[in-house]
Amino acid sequence: MVRRRTLLAALAGAAALSGCDGPATRPEDETTAASCIDWIELETPADAAAESDAVVRGTADGPPATGRYELYDVPLWTVQVAEWVSGAPADGEGSSIEVLSLPYSCGESRDALSGIEDAGEVYLFLRARGDHWETVTGYRGMVPVAEDGSMPESWPDEIG
């Protein structure tokens, strides 16, 4: 019985000591981890439309709020929808939707809808995720509507 008490006391003491401060560390020994996102490259707006759950034609009603994608705070845009080109709105949606603009990539401050506030009417390439919409990738989330109202065949250089 004495051995058992001694063993229990020793274990309790070791447990108490191990939880006091933990191992000593120096700041220069610490490592910081970062996550990086890479997206598929969509060659044309038609490719983006084919990868999307929905495509809408509309305009941003800004400025954006802040939403969350994985570990990132991202812009959450309210979009006034002029037309559902493909896909369908969820119950209660229709003329106004909220869209998370996915981050572009590591070290970049832009996102898939950078410049939307100045782009006028755009086609948005959307993916349904849970109870919200998000851009189909962080690289390509929109394209400005062509002068004749159609979807352009290629991406403009100055807008994502």
Higher pLDDT, 2 or 93: 93
Residue 132 has pLDDT above 70, yes or no: yes
Higher pLDDT, 5 or 74: 74
Q: Looking at the whole model, is its pTM more than 0.75?
A: no
- Asked whether residue 24 is assigned to any structural domain, the reply reads no
Query: What would the DSSP string read from start to end of 12-66?
Result: HHHHHHHTTS-S---GGG--------------SHHHHHHH-SEEEEEEEEEEEEE
- Asked whether residue 158 is assigned to any structural domain, the reply reads no
- Asked whether residue 126 is assigned to any structural domain, the reply reads yes
- Asked whether residue 85 is assigned to any structural domain, the reply reads yes
- Asked whether residue 119 is assigned to any structural domain, the reply reads yes
- Asked whether residue 134 is assigned to any structural domain, the reply reads yes
- Asked whether residue 74 is assigned to any structural domain, the reply reads yes
Higher pLDDT, 17 or 32: 32
What's the pLDDT tens digit per position in 79-104? Answer: 999 999 999 887 777 788 999 888 77
- Asked whether residue 150 is assigned to any structural domain, the reply reads no
For residue 111, give Cα distances in angstroms to 105, 126, 147, 152. Answer: 8, 14, 25, 20
Q: What is the CATH number of the domain that holds 88?
A: 2.40.50
Higher pLDDT, 148 or 131: 148
Query: What pLDDT is stored for residue 68 in this prediction?
Result: 84
